[in-house]
Amino acid sequence: MTAIEPRSTKPVLMTVDDDPGVSRAVARDLRRRYGQDHRIVRAESGRDALDALRELTLRGEPVAAILADYRMPEMNGIEFLEQAMDIAPHARRALLTAYADTDAAIQAINLVDVDHYLLKPWDPPEEKLYPVVDALVETWRAVGQRPVDEIRVVGHRWSAECFSARDFLARNSVPYRYYSIDEPEGARLLEAAGAGPEDVPVLITADGTALRSPTDAEIAEAVGLTTDPATDFYDLIVVGGGPAGLGAAVYGASEGLRTVLVERQATGGQAGQSSRIENYLGFPDGVSGAQLTDRARRQAAKFGAEVLTARDVVSLEARGSARVVRFGDGSEIAAHSVVLATGVSYRSLDAPGVAELTGRGVFYGSAATEAPACRGEDVYIVGGANSAGQAAVFFSRHAATVTLVVRGPGLEASMSS
């Protein structure tokens, strides 16, 4: 059973456990630490919890995090969280599990993209419970329940420029809504912007400003991403925003160095496009590239590091004791030290027609931006290593069929188990 108190403006922390004693203990520990700023709601079954979530949603009360027990009768924790995602999609999710259920829970976690799992008992809560809930709440506050229709993009599916704009927004965690010019609403927006099909993509900001065929730098400026450095001299410049670059920025800024990270397209790099990373230190149950990138970016900002997006570094030179980085537009910044973390770029496939069709049905990486548009269609993935395997699993949620095209005799030599 569960009870909903009168409407509150405090975000909700929900705990679900069929054992009344455990349920009360979780609620007690949560209330002790978070009761001043959050409302604690507990339920003793998945059904009751779903009913409570529906009522909270109808009343417009935000749900920050849900902690659900793995073993519950009628509906286990994974089944509950799968349905809870539809009701409260922005709530962060954690699974409470006994040690004996760890393997099964980790395998099931991939189904509902759980943020964390907690082993019972969690004593002392200061070491085992609170750090996890702190991370859940911090992530919810950063991502929150931002509206997805602040930025509108009007384009055509087979336009490489449109795909590039949408991919830039998605990889930088900027919420947007996409409209095709073949749909009535897309055509209306195009006409209202005074644009034609030749101008796509057209990006319309929250204040009604329309940008025709914008560059990445113009998009970044329009959506509020930082593109200009705050000063012209730093202690440390990090070039590249993948995991290595983000790590360097976190370590530099946390040591008190005035740090700036410069990224050409989007933080996260190739790893940020991965649907599931299972070999990254500190995430034994796996993490999506987007989650890893978001946490690292917020961690860098927490220590005061600047992040410049859509800035292309074209040269590096020594000027006395300073190291000078020059951008593509001719401007420059300097620092005592520079870390180059430029990562990798995809090797282009040398086959007739590929270059012309890139961004128009041929994509490098898992193309998460394009996956929903592949619903009911046949998808072919070229490659037999881990990235290809992750992409195949990801696209299988959308496409009618997914076919791996592999040059070698099998997958054993190139793809991890």
Q: How many CB atoms lie within 10 A of CB 356?
A: 10
Element (H, E) at 340: strand 332-340
What ranges do the domains of the chain cover?
Answer: 12-143, 151-222, 233-340, 354-405
pLDDT of residue 98: 78
Task: Give the position of tokens 């992530």.
Answer: 139
Q: Is 106 helix (H, G, I), strand (E, B) or coil?
A: helix
Q: Is 34 helix (H, G, I), strand (E, B) or coil?
A: helix
Token output for 158: 């087979």
C-beta of residue 214 within 8 angstroms of C-beta of residue 163: no
Token output for 149: 């229709």
First to last CA, the chain: 42
CATH architecture of 233-340: 3-Layer(bba) Sandwich (3.50)
CATH architecture of 151-222: 3-Layer(aba) Sandwich (3.40)
CA torsion angle 111 117 119 123 (round to 10): -160
Closest to 360 in 3D by CA, of 200, 193, 133: 200
State which CATH number among 3.40.50.2300, 3.40.50.920, 3.40.50.300, 3.30.1950.10 fits the domain covering 12-143.
Answer: 3.40.50.2300
d(CA 323, CA 122): 49
Distance of CA 220 to the CA centre of its chain: 17
d(CA 100, CA 94): 17
pLDDT tens series, the chain, 417 aa: 555 555 567 899 999 999 888 899 999 999 999 999 999 999 999 999 999 998 888 888 899 999 999 888 888 888 898 888 888 888 999 888 876 666 666 665 666 678 888 888 888 888 889 988 998 998 888 776 554 456 899 999 899 999 999 989 988 888 888 999 999 999 999 998 999 999 999 999 988 899 999 999 999 999 989 999 999 999 999 999 999 999 999 999 999 999 999 999 889 887 877 767 777 887 776 777 777 888 888 899 989 999 999 999 999 999 999 999 999 999 999 999 999 999 887 788 889 999 999 999 999 876 667 777 888 999 999 999 888 888 888 888 889 999 999 998 999 888 887
Q: How many CB atoms lie within 10 A of CB 319?
A: 9
Q: How many CB atoms lie within 10 A of CB 109?
A: 22
How many residues appear in the chain?
Answer: 417
